[in-house]
Amino acid sequence: MKESEGKHNRERNLLALTGAAALLALAANLAFSAFNSHRKKTKKKDLPGSNVRVNLSPSEILRLADRIIANSKAVHEKVASVPLDKVSYVNVVSPLAELEAEQFPLIQSCVFPKFVSTSDEVRKASAEAERRLDAHALICSVREDVYLVIKAVAARGEWTSAEAKCYIQSLVREFERNGLNLTVTKREEVQRLRAQMDELSLQYIKNLNEKSTFLLFSEAELAGLPAEFFKGLDKAENGKFKVNLRSNFVAAVLELCKVGRTRRMVAVAYGKRCGDVNLPVLENLVQLRHKYARLLGYSNYADYAVDLRMAKTTSKVFEFLEDISINLTDLATKELNMLKDLKKKEEGEVPFGIEDLLYYAKRVEVQKFDIDFGALKQYFPVNLVLSGVFKTFQDLFGLRFEEILDAEVWHGDVRVFSVFDLSSRELFGYFYQDIYAREGKYGQTCVVALQNGALLSNGARQVPVALLISQFEKDISGHPGLLRFSEVVNLFHEFGHVVQHICNRASFARFSGLRIDPDFVEIPAQVLENLCYESFVLKLISGFHQAFLIKLYILLTILMLLSYSNIFIQR
């Protein structure tokens, strides 16, 4: 290991690991954080190898977007100016690949604040920056001069590697899916439709992100929900609880609330979010997509979308779905009737709706396996689950996660980790962990790629950077945040995406991380989420929260005393 790298690593706090060791390391982590909060604040450090920028002001976001666009224009102009008889991989393909790799983290620096910032002004600037960047990307995607030089390179067939061949073919295909192989009249119509579709898509998402809706319920109307659920709710003047229509609250109500009317109100309200403004947007978007696909020679937009996937045609998709339906209809009908019978026993002659599915599926599990989900939740405090998740993925993939305590973040809840290969000590990448719910934050659980890995023209490897967003409730007044087991499964799923993104070693940013083949992108996460059902993993991620708190308090006290004793001795 280089001395500079070793010094950098020693300044980090190693995250923690298994059984009692996991608890000890977690306590050390918390103690060290508490200790650092009393020290004089130092300048926040950048992440070596990361071009992601955080905490940009609204004006800085817009200026950065404009610089990105100006630089992109310059590169495209230079590529387009290459004479067709002089084209090569070096003067056409390499500059475009380098541009994608270098500018993606800057683009994301402009765009991701709209998901996480607490400032309305920052979120608005971020949305405006995204609009400008998308408009520029649309212009670049229909430049005939660039298309022709890339086609000329493709025609020569001089590939530096199989991956480079795939990249060039991808560039050509993207241009042609934007109408560059059509007549001028049709091409102009395709471009017009594409611009309208992009604008409508942004508007649809913006409406959802800006909508902050809640429903009011009395405690009796929320019967069945655990006490800690109510601790995360605000109260209205009439004493009723405000249930925000964010995914974590909605899932809890639909899984646990005994009152059918409440479940139905929440399900209907969640399904109708922004319906008044988004329904016309969606109807218009569907019509535009159909026209767009027809112009490109497809029967409908579904055929256009499926063309790049393994199925290739919608007829294959329907054949697959029909085959599944034939084999599963009898079993599904039997299970649905079981749920309906259970609802009839508990609620009487009330129609079974989609809002009842999660609740009565849980009720069947409770009866069949004698599971108390309220009691089960007591064994999954969020900090212990996270410690176990880190340990599991470290051992499975030969990685080492280290928390960076002095990294710049956009909120006090955000944590940053570096990821190393355990054997070679090579830095694989970084990820931000923003897992607690707050006002103005994106309401779904997801992983966002902030920087894609790539092999740059100078031979250096650009490291990936990811962002994990979730909506867990924070610890409140000394009580640990507890997770439903479905949330634990979801956390494993999303963490699978993080590892998938960071461990990807593609040479081109276009194929890196989460930008892989759409047929495959969910497979690693779907496989890895099943880890949480294994007994050795359950031992790492579970423990009764009160006992956990007592042990944690003792260890924290000891470590804090040791820390202050060490300072006293040094002085």
Cβ contact 433:414 at 8 Å = yes
Q: Return d(Cα 570, Cα 444) in angstroms, integer.
A: 47
The token pair at 303 is: 């055929």
- Where is 570: in which H helix or E strand? helix 545-570
Residues contacting 484, CB < 8 A, separation 6+: 251, 252, 255, 373, 377, 380
Cβ contact 432:450 at 8 Å = yes
Type of residue numbered 428: F
DSSP 239: S
By DSSP bridging, strand 13-14 and strand 399-403 are: antiparallel
By DSSP bridging, strand 415-421 and strand 214-217 are: unpaired
The token pair at 251 is: 């899932």
Residues contacting 298, CB < 8 A, separation 6+: 304, 307
C-alpha closest to that of 67 among 129, 23, 5, 115: 129
**Alpha helices, H only, 450-528:** 485-503, 523-528
Q: 3-class SS at 419?
A: strand
Q: Return d(Cα 551, Cα 503) in angstroms, integer.
A: 35
Give the Cβ contact number of residue 487 at 10 Å. 22
Q: Return d(Cα 414, Cα 436) in angstroms, integer.
A: 9
Residue with token string 């939740």: 377
430 beta partners: 418, 465
DSSP 530: G
Q: Return d(Cα 84, Cα 318) in angstroms, integer.
A: 44
C-alpha closest to that of 388 among 274, 285, 535: 535
- Largest Cα–Cα separation, the chain: 80
Taking the CA of residue 284 as centre, how many other CA atoms within 13 Å lie in the half-sphere pointing to its CB? 15
494 is catalytic: yes
Which position among 60, 494, 529, 534 bears the catalytic label? 494
Residue with token string 């497809």: 298
DSSP 476: B
Dihedral angle, C-alpha 446, 451, 453, 457, nearest 10 °: 160
Cβ contact 45:402 at 8 Å = no
The token pair at 424 is: 């070679």
Q: Return d(Cα 384, Cα 136) in angstroms, integer.
A: 45
φ, ψ for residue 468, nearest 5 deg: -100, 120
Cβ contact 198:281 at 8 Å = no
Cβ contact 445:469 at 8 Å = yes
Catalytically annotated residues: 494
